[in-house]
Amino acid sequence: MEHNSSNFIRTIIKEDLESGKRDHVVTRFPPEPNGYLHIGHAKSIVINFGLADDFKGKTHLRFDDTNPLKEDQEYVDAIKEDVQWLGYEWEELRFASDYFEEMYDRAVLLIKKGKAYVDDLTADQIREYRGTLTEPGKESPYRNRAAEENLDLFERMRKGEFANGEKVLRAKIDMASPNINLRDPVLYRVSHASHHNTGDKWCIYPMYAFAHPLEDAIEGVTHSLCTTEFEDQRPLYNWVVEQCEMKHQPQQIEFGRLNLSNTVMSKRKLKQLVDEGIVDGWDDPRLPTISGLRRKGYTPAAIREFVKETGVSKGSAVVDEAMLEHFAREDLKLTAPRTMGILKPLKIVITNYPEGQVEWLDAEINPENPEMGMRKIPFSREIYVEQEDFMENPPKKYFRLFPGNEVRLKHAYFIKCEEVIKDDNGEVMELRCTYDPETKSGTGFTGRKVKGTIHWVDAKHALPAEFRLYEPLISDTEEEADETAGKTFLDYVNQNSLEIVQGFIEPNMENIEPHDKFQFFRHGYFNVDPKHTTKEKPVFNRIVSLKSSFKL
């Protein structure tokens, strides 16, 4: 895979190799298995696997599973699937929980060195004592316990003698540090909870800030890449590695997060949408999860190219969804077969076409990629067109069907609207048209021109199909509003984010499979939905429409 555009992390790694600071590269992608991966994680994956690859190094997939309450095997499995689907292979699969014993030993070492102590303050008190940016913190009354006492208490924490929250282990650093992260951060907490990997073996769990540097050091990670919100934690990261006397010293480097417009990205919010049934699972096509994008119809290549285009820098960026869509079109235009589908059918009877006659018309599968060959489309006396391709009283510049007007049927003939059939309520039920046999597509007819070309399917041969059309789940401005208006993001969910319609497709699509992708003429690119498609009826998710205002 190609990752060769330069960025500041690449420069650091290159210099480390040239100066002899490192003689190899190990990176890791460290998700917490507390939800499904999203497009932001894809950025971290592309960066970590991509850079290691470029420098002939290796990458671990490491589950950062130090918080049993939120983690689950379902997430472990989904994350593995998504990383592989994106096209990456980890050199080693690791679990932070496999290092719990070693982490415990390192904590004991800190206690013996007088660098950690057991604190009896409550979580609220600890927060209060921590101080603020302008005020130094206050030392806990338990801060100067003797090492012996700390060792005894820590061991008893492990044995389960204390309730959740009753005691914590804290680093003994500096309560007056200008960096609040260094004001005696908590290293271990009591949590009587079953862990998806270690079961009931432990009732104390290490905090992220303690566990993460140890995990990196244990695994020999050379460059530990994370997002910029961890920048202030870097001194603590280095403190842990040094004070725990780890042989290997990893280097933390931060890059800016990727955020997408018109959606939510945090796992907590995504989980809420799933748990409350607002969306159809973690793989709902409206979600920015990898599995949602896959189900919608995005290809791994489109996601990788998108992520690379967003670049690697220190700044976080909210990227417009239109840019992601651009890469879907780019990736599909040469590979997706063209076809015609009617989303909201209106019947037409072609009164001068012989009853019982069927002809099979030839059409290119993909005019941009002629090697894909030709397909056959039936044409007979009754067809369906889109409801919106007819207007009884059209405005100016409406070139589609209206009484007396002639249009071209794609791949077929010119037809002229002769009569409108309505029901008792005045609703248009059907059109009667005539066709002109001389205008057959491909015969070179030049006798007269029409301004509109519309798509259609043959009524007798067409297959039923369901189409699912998506709009943004949340509007951007509304997402921002939620912060100030005292509402939650759920108040801003777009109620029209999914439209389901029943229509028809060409009969040559009988044997399509989940995840087959097509370009429906005038409607855009669609993916065969793997969840709701049945033998009787395929369900198509619209990936993107054809129009794009986005330019790179």
CA 264, 270, 272, 277 dihedral sign is positive
Q: How far apart are CA 458 and CA 350, in angstroms?
A: 11
Q: Smallest gap, in angstroms, from Cβ of residue 226 to ligand ATP?
A: 5
Question: How far is CA 450 from each of CA 7, 361, 425, rounded to the nearest angstrom?
Answer: 53, 20, 32
Q: Are 340 and 521 in contact (CB under 8 A)?
A: yes
Q: Which is nearer to ligand ATP, 266 or 488 (CB)?
A: 266
Count CB neighbours of 130 within 10 A. 17
- The amino acid at residue 281 is G
- 531 belongs to the catalytic site: no
Does residue 455 have a known ligand-binding role? no
Among candidate residues 257, 333, 416, 522, the one labeled active-site is 257
- The one segment of 49-57, 154-162, 256-264, 518-526 that binds ligand ATP by CB under 6 A: 256-264
16 touches, from ligand ATP, Mg ion, none (C-beta below 5 to 8 Å by class)? none
Q: How far is the CB of 122 from ligand ATP (least distance, A)?
A: 26
* Residue 309 interacts with ligand ATP (CB under 6 A): yes or no: no
How far is it, in rounded angstroms, from Cα 547 to Cα 552? 15
Residue 258 near ligand ATP by CB under 6 A: yes
Smallest separation (angstroms) from ligand ATP to the CB of 312? 10
43 is a contact residue toward ligand ATP (CB under 6 A): yes
Helix (H, G, I), strand (E, B) or coil at 344: coil
Q: Does 227 bind ligand ATP (CB under 6 A)?
A: yes
Residue 226 near ligand ATP by CB under 6 A:
yes
Q: Which of 58, 189, 267, 286 is catalytic?
A: 267
Question: Cα torsion for 286, 289, 294, 300, to the nearest 10°?
Answer: 130
Cα angle, residue 43 at apex, residues 38 and 46 outer, rounded to 5°: 120
If the CB atoms of residues 151 and 278 are measured against ligand ATP, the closer one turns out to be 278
DSSP 160-210: T-S-TTT-EEEE-S-TT-SSGGGSS-EEEEE----BTTTBTS-SEEE-HHH
Q: Which is nearer to ligand ATP, 44 or 140 (CB)?
A: 44
Concerning whether 257 is annotated as a catalytic residue, the answer is yes
Q: Report which of 415, 440, 437, 423 is spatially closest to residue 348, judged by C-alpha positions.
A: 415
Give the DSSP letter string of 224-244: EEEEGGGGGGHHHHHHHHHHT
Q: What's the CA gap between 527 and 337, in Å, rounded?
A: 11
- The reply to whether 126 sits in an annotated binding site is no
Q: Is 206 annotated as a binding residue?
A: no
Judged by beta carbon distances under 5 to 8 A according to partner kind, the member of ligand ATP, Mg ion, none in contact with residue 227 is ligand ATP
Tell me whether residue 32 is one of the annotated catalytic residues: yes
Report the residue number, 26 or 363, with the smaller CB distance to ligand ATP: 26
Task: Name which of 313, 433, 430 is nearest 47 in CA terms.
Answer: 313
Residues forming contacts to Mg ion in the complex (CB under 5 A) are 32
The correct pick among 144, 164, 249, 266 for binding ligand ATP (CB under 6 A) is 266
* Shortest spacing between CB 260 and Mg ion, in angstroms: 16
253 or 385, CB closer to ligand ATP? 253
173 is in an annotated binding site: no
User: Which residue ranges make up the annotated binding site for ATP?
Assistant: 32-34, 38-44, 227, 257-258, 265-267
Write out the residues near ligand ATP by the rule CB under 6 A: 30-32, 40-41, 43-44, 226-227, 257-259, 265-267
Which residues are catalytically annotated?
A: 32, 257, 267
